[in-house]
């Protein structure tokens, strides 16, 4: 006898059919999932109210259905199935299918993301509870397979090529190779690394007095050296990486191991006429402030003349992005993978700080520390930036 299967009352006004878990002529059991629906940020499987054989499937993927909407027509032969040996074999097959579909769990948002990137959900291995697919699984799959959101590209192309020139004159310029590569890497790093950015300010009043006095001394003695604040910061970061080695690490591709580096190479983000480059000062822990100053001078000159080689930008442990000469207060620097942290420096400002019974002027340097939350927790982040602040407040702390 044929029986109609309708959508039961699941507490939602309307849902979308996102998957059909059986096909025509399948032998099904009572409570076996028939379709997967989504609505109001939830997804759920709709089970069969009885055993039988599927005669008709009356919905398609993408259909919007409501309570009492007709889903399927099933031949209800429950007693015969229980007795028939051959049908029992089919039931076992059906049971395996049920397990298979039950294994692929994902929220509506995740499924939407999968559809946008035109990925087969069966190709993604879920790392969440009970094999649930989470956002990180999709991002990892996208990164490993260099998948692009074709739908977004098509829409953006339509907007740029067709619509924008309707409002006035436009100019289209090519993105040079350096910006294309750095842009792709930044995008991947932002997608794949769970960033946390910690903001703080360091009192550099005394350090700046010391730096200027030293430069004045060098000038009087005709020594061609002009130490920059960045030279001090590079040295401070080097000592900080020794004190907090978790910041001098990388995470393996399977996210199961951390590689602690025993060398200290610090990259300096440099804005060139062709885009962002990150040349590296190698073995900083074995260099003094003057050595670092000379390395910074050399790298700046090579960057300006576009003579940076692959060797100059490979093997970094930690990156410093310095916007102090440009301006701004705080920003969120993007981690330079496979590193796990980056320090952003903004323009220093004189600020009034309350001491004893009055305000006194102090030179304050804004700091922005971004770190990979898979490797570094908030406590370590706070300790790291606090140590950097202490050393910037009094450079003699490096001797302790």
- pLDDT for the residue numbered 151: 52
Distance between terminal CA atoms of the chain? 87
Is the pLDDT reported for residue 158 higher than 70?
A: no
Matching residue, tokens 């990137």:
117
**Cβ–Cβ < 8 Å for 247, 384:** yes
In the chain the domains, ranked by start, together with CATH numbers, are 2-103 (2.40.50.100), 104-172 (4.10.320.10), 185-399 (3.30.559.10)
**Cβ–Cβ < 8 Å for 20, 62:** no
* Phi, psi (degrees; rounded to nearest 5) at 307: -110, 15
**Cβ–Cβ < 8 Å for 345, 321:** yes
Q: Report the SS3 class of residue 353.
A: strand
More confident residue, 122 or 210: 210
* Residue 105 to residues 97, 126, 293, Cα–Cα distance (Å): 14, 8, 55
- pTM of the entire predicted model: 0.60
* Residue 98 to residues 34, 92, 159, 204, 279, Cα–Cα distance (Å): 9, 10, 44, 65, 54
Question: What would the two tokens of residue 400 be?
Answer: 């302790």
Give the pLDDT confidence of 286-312 residue by residue, as tens digits.
999 999 999 999 998 888 888 888 889
* Phi, psi (degrees; rounded to nearest 5) at 257: -140, 155
- Cα 99 from chain centroid? 32
pLDDT category of residue 270 using cuts at 50, 70 and 90 = confident
Q: 186: buried, middle or exposed (CB in 10 Å: 19+, 13-18, 0-12)?
A: middle
Question: What would the two tokens of residue 208 be?
Answer: 């700046």
**Cβ–Cβ < 8 Å for 60, 42:** no
- Nearest residue to 231 via CA among 322, 99, 340, 346: 322
Matching residue, tokens 């390395």:
295
- Catalytic machinery residues: 373
* Phi, psi (degrees; rounded to nearest 5) at 144: -65, -30
Is the pLDDT reported for residue 365 higher than 90?
A: yes
Give the pLDDT confidence of 64-110 residue by residue, as tens digits.
999 999 999 998 765 555 555 455 545 555 555 454 444 467 777 78
Distance CA 391, CA 179 (A): 35
Residue 391, Cβ neighbours under 10 Å: how many? 23
């Amino acid at each position: 006898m044929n029986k109609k299967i309708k959508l039961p009352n699941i507490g939602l006004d309307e849902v979308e059919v996102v998957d059909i878990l059986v096909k025509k002529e399948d032998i099904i059991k009572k409570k076996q999932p028939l379709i997967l629906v989504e609505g109001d940020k939830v997804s759920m499987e709709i089970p069969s109210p009885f055993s039988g054989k599927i005669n008709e499937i009356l919905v398609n993927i993408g259909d919007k259905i409501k309570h009492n909407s007709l889903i399927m027509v099933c031949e209800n032969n429950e007693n015969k199935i229980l007795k028939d040996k051959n049908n029992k074999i089919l039931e076992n097959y059906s049971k395996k299918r049920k397990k298979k579909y039950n294994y692929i769990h994902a929220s509506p948002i995740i499924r939407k993301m999968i559809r946008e990137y035109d990925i087969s959900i069966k190709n993604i291995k879920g790392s969440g509870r009970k094999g649930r697919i989470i956002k990180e699984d999709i991002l990892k799959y996208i990164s490993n397979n260099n998948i692009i959101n074709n739908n977004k590209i098509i829409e953006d192309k339509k907007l740029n090529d067709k619509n924008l020139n309707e409002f006035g004159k436009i100019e289209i310029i090519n993105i040079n190779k350096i910006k294309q590569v750095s842009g792709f890497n930044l995008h991947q790093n932002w997608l794949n690394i769970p960033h946390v950015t910690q903001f703080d300010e360091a009192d550099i009043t005394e350090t700046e007095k010391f730096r200027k006095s030293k430069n004045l001394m060098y000038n009087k003695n005709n020594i061609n050296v002009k130490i920059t604040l960045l030279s001090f910061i590079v040295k401070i970061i080097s000592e900080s990486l020794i004190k907090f080695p978790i910041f001098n690490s990388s995470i393996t591709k399977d996210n199961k191991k951390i590689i602690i580096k025993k060398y200290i190479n610090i990259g300096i983000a440099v804005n060139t006429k062709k885009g962002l480059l990150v040349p590296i000062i190698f073995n900083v822990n074995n260099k003094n402030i003057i050595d670092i100053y000379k390395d910074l001078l050399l790298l700046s000159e090579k960057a300006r003349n576009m003579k940076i080689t692959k060797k100059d930008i490979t093997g970094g442990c930690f990156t410093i992005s310095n916007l102090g000469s440009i301006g701004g207060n705080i920003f969120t620097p993007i981690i330079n993978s496979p590193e796990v942290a980056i320090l952003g420096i903004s323009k220093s400002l004189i600020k009034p700080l309350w001491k004893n019974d009055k305000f006194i002027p102090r030179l304050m340097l804004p700091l922005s520390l971004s770190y990979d939350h898979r490797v570094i927790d908030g406590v370590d982040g706070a300790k790291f930036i606090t140590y950097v602040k202490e050393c910037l407040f009094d450079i003699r702390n490096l001797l302790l």
